[in-house]
Amino acid sequence: MGAGSSSLALESEGGSGSSPSRPSLDDVPESCVSSIFMYMDPPEICKLARLNKSFHGASLADFVWETKLPSNYKFLVEIVLGQSPESLSKKEIYARLCRPNCFDNGTKQVWLDKSSGKICVAVSYKALRITGIDDRRYWNHVSSEESRFNTIAYLQQIWWFEVGGELEFEFPAGSYSLFFKLQLGKTSKKLGRRTCNVDRVHGWDIKPVRFQLSTSTGQQASSECYLHQQGNWGHYHAGDFVVDSTNTAPLKLRFSMMQIDCTHTKGGVCLDSVLICPRDCTELGGQSRPTGSCCVFKFGHDSNEYECGRQFFCHAAVLIHKRVRA
């Protein structure tokens, strides 16, 4: 009976008195939130930043976004954005680098993968050395919405097919892959529908195309394959290279593809660009992703607070566990 009376008394006190307010995410200190954000991916940070003012303020901290930026971000800001790194917040630098940024008279683009923050670089065919590119009997320049650079090169027919290029760039440490973006057939639109004319495609099934890659640090790679991607763009792997963390100087790349067997002609191929991206990056050309502003940096109030809070405290628990074990 005493136990029952005690429980009734507590219920009576809770019902008649003013109960303390329930703790919420608004009570989490901004400095604590920022510390957790350092260990989260950019899309997660931007989603949680919609919850309240405290989380929004924490998402603006420079030390949070500096952990997401590549080690060469100052080089990118100065060379690509043409600004001083000190004049921009780290979050603004990240957002602007996530967009495709042109340099070298618009013949090259660099951007960050929005999820991983890793660097991708594209080189237009206009920056490459192409046999016969100025002879309209062989090559045509064609406008295309399917290219990052809005123009592609279309080969009608040639005996000696050779394309080469160079790039000097300051890459962060890591492993990278280099691809040539090609398509067999000429794309056009009829009545709003995409069509591809493959009538002129010939010669690519007789001998393989040879791809080569070398770096100023002595790395070399080569591969051979037959061109087969009719009607769709394909990324043909030329090779991989590694940038060491001790190498702080810009790395010089040389790359090429050729099919120089003059016993037959070849033609009907479109050349767009060369793509360099981290080996574990899923971005191949990025055409399936928007090329405008970084959409993950738009804040709103339509997120589910419970789900966001659950994600946040899961990361907090993992961080605390790691620190306790350390």
Helix/strand/coil (H/E/C) assignment for every residue in the chain = CHHHHHHHHHHHHHHHCCCCCCCCHHHCCHHHHHHHHCCCCHHHHHHHCCCCHHHHHHCCCHHHHHCCCCCCHHHHHHHHHCCCHHHCCHHHHHHHHCCCEEECCCCEEEEECCCCCCEEEEEEHHHCEECCCCCCCCEEEEECCCCCCCEEEEECCECCEEEEEEEEECCCCEEEEEEEEEEECEEEEECCEEEEECCCCECCCCCCEEEEEEECCCCEEEEEECCCCECCCEEEEEEEEEECCCCCCCEEEEEEEEECCCCCCEECEEEEEEEEEECCCCCCCCCCCCCCCCHHHCCCCCCCHHHHHHHHHHHHHHHHHHHHHC
Q: Are strands 101-103 and 108-112 parallel, antiparallel or unpaired?
A: antiparallel
User: CA separation (Å) from 121 to 30, 118, 277, 303?
Assistant: 36, 10, 6, 33
Separation CA 241–CA 220 (nearest Å): 8
Q: Provide mean pLDDT across the span 12-24.
A: 53
Q: Which range is least confidently modeled, 100-114, 209-223, 276-290? A: 276-290
Q: Provide mean pLDDT across the span 297-319.
A: 50
Pick 28 or 289 by higher pLDDT.
28
pLDDT digits 0-9 by tens, 234-289: 999 999 999 998 877 899 999 999 999 989 999 999 999 999 999 877 555 443 33
Pick 56 or 314 by higher pLDDT.
56
Q: What percent of the chain has pLDDT over 70?
A: 78
pLDDT digits 0-9 by tens, 168-185: 999 999 999 999 999 999
The per-residue pLDDT for 12 is 39
Number of CB atoms found within 10 A of residue 187's CB: 19
Structural tokens at position 128: 């490459």
The per-residue pLDDT for 56 is 87
Is the pTM for the entire model greater than 0.75?
yes
**Confidence at 303, pLDDT banded by 50, 70, 90:** very low
